[in-house]
């Protein structure tokens, strides 16, 4: 799972296996190790009606309604967003790059619709 934090926005990008784990197991977590600590971030399925995001200690926990996740692994929805109190959160499927990179294994990512529609690289 990738995370991008810029100003007051948090963007998650999930590979196919991570979307499947979120749906079947109800959560997906990752972490970034620093010399003197770690940042843990994850998404959990919940019985809430709205998406929410909390930062406490060294952990970012984003909760998404379970009902939103139904069939997400097989349908055309790209993702979900949340915007409240000045914080914007985006959770989306991670697509393969339009221009392949040798150093990155993208076999677990979703096919890029731009490539499917005949876009040139």
Are 69 and 45 a contacting pair, CB within 8 Å? yes
Are 21 and 41 a contacting pair, CB within 8 Å? no
pLDDT of residue 9: 95
Q: Is pLDDT at 99 greater than 70 in this prediction? A: no
Look at residues 89, 91, 92 and name the one whose alpha carbon lies nearest to residue 10.
89
Phi and psi at 32, nearest 5°, equal: -120, 120
> For the segment 59-88, what is each residue's pLDDT rounded down to a tens digit?
999 999 999 999 998 988 889 999 988 999
Sequence-distant (6+) residues with CB within 8 A of 61 are 41, 42, 44, 53, 54, 55
pLDDT of residue 98: 56
Domain ranges of the chain: 2-95
> For the segment 24-69, what is each residue's pLDDT rounded down to a tens digit?
999 999 999 999 999 999 999 999 999 999 999 999 999 999 999 9
Q: Where does 2-95 sit in CATH, by number?
A: 3.30.1360
């Amino acid at each position: 799972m990738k995370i991008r934090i810029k100003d007051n926005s948090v963007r998650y990008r999930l590979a196919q296996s991570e979307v499947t784990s979120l749906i079947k197991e109800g959560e997906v977590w990752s972490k970034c190790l620093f010399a003197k600590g770690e940042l843990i971030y994850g998404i959990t399925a919940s019985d809430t009606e709205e998406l929410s995001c909390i930062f406490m200690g060294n952990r970012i926990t984003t909760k998404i309604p379970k009902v939103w996740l139904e069939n997400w692994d097989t349908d055309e929805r790209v993702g979900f967003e949340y915007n409240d109190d000045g914080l914007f959160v985006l959770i989306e499927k991670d697509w393969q790059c339009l221009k392949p990179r040798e150093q990155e294994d993208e076999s677990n990512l979703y096919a890029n619709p731009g490539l499917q529609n005949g876009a040139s690289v």
